[in-house]
Amino acid sequence: MKEERNSMIKDDGATKKIIPYTELRTFYKMLRSYSSTGFHCAFAEEIARAKNTQKLADQFCRSVKHFESYENRDEKFYDGANRKKLESSCDKITSTLDAAVQINKTECTVRGKDELNFLYVDREIVPARTKGGAFEYHESSSHNRSADLLLKNAKDNRPIIGEIKVKADANPFLALIQLLLHAAEMVTQNQVQRLKNSYPDEDFQTEKDDCPGYDLYLVMFGYEKHLSSNNKSSVKLWEDLLKYTETISQDLVKCKNFRKYVRRIVCLNLPEGESVDQGFKLGKEMLD
C-alpha cells in the first residue's frame, strides 16, 4: 500500500480516502482487548488521579487535531437502506435498540436537573463512515464503531453524543472512553458541518455564546443491580468503576483544553422497573 499526500491513499490500484486512526482509537482498542472488569477498574483509578486526567484530556485533543484533516461533509453517518427500523414499543429494556425505542418516545427528563433534559435525534451513527475509505496505518475498516445515540439538549439544542449501557453490558469506564473516541471525531469544523448537513431540521447549536459544541451522555439502564449483589467484592468493584468514571468525567471538563470542545459529561441511570417517563437519575446518586 502506498500513501499519497494529504487525504488519499492507493490500495491495489484503487484510490481511497484516508480515515485518520486516532490515538483514542488505539487506546480504546487496547482496553477492549482486556476483558477483565478488574483491569478496567484499576486503569480507571489510575486515570482518576488529577494529573492523569489532564493526560487523558491531552490525548483527546491530540486525537481531535489528528482528525481535523478528514473532510466528508456530504456523506450521511450511516446507510439508511440497511437500517433496522425501531419497534413502536417494547416491554423490557434488554438491549441498545430497546433503549432507543424508549428514549424516542418523548422528551427525556433528568430528575431535579431540567437543564440536562434531552430529545432523541438518531441512533447508531458512525462518525468516521466513509464509502470507499480506508483507515491509515493499514487498520481494517471493521474497526469503525458507531455511537449509540445522537441526542440534543431540550433547552438549547446542543448536540449530545450518547452511549447506552444495559445491565450486564454496563462498564461505565469503557463507555466513557468510547464516548471520547466518538467526540474526538465529531468536534472538528468539518464534522460539525457534516452533522448540520445530515440533520438540517434539528437546528443544532454548536457555537452559541462561545460555549463548547457537544455534551456527552452515558445512559445506563439498571446499573443499580450491580450494587445490590450479595457478593461484596463484586459490589465494591462496580461502585469503584462508577466512582472513578464520575471523577474522570468531572475533572475532564475542568481541563481548559478539553473544554474547548465539550461542555459537560453526564452519567445517567434509569432504575430497573421504572419508565423513561419517570425521568433519569444522575449516576452519582447511586454512590450517596
pLDDT in tens, the chain (288 residues): 334 334 655 555 555 688 999 999 999 999 999 989 999 999 999 999 878 999 999 999 999 999 999 999 999 998 876 777 777 667 777 788 888 888 987 899 999 999 999 999 999 999 999 988 888 876 656 567 899 999 999 999 999 999 999 876 779 999 999 999 999 999 999 999 999 999 999 999 886 555 568 999 999 998 888 888 778 888 899 999 999 999 999 999 999 999 999 999 999 999 988 888 899 999 988 886
Residue 218 bridge partners (DSSP):
163, 267
Quote the crossing angle between the two packed helices 37-47 and 232-252, to the nearest 10°.
40
Calpha distance 56→99 (Å, rounded): 29
Beta strands per DSSP E along the chain: 2-3, 8-11, 14-19, 118-125, 133-135, 147-153, 159-166, 214-221, 262-270, 281-282
CB atoms within 10 A of CB 28: 19
Q: What is the pTM of this model?
A: 0.90
- Residue 277 backbone phi and psi in degrees, to 5: -60, -25
Give the total residue count for the chain: 288
- Residue 274 backbone phi and psi in degrees, to 5: -100, 155
Ramachandran category for residue 94: left, alpha or beta (phi over 0 → left; psi -120 to 50 → alpha): alpha
Calpha distance 267→242 (Å, rounded): 9
- Domain extent listing, the chain: 2-78+91-135+145-287
Query: In the sheet that 281-282 helps form, which strands lie side by side, from edge to edge?
Result: 118-125, 147-153, 159-166, 214-221, 262-270, 281-282
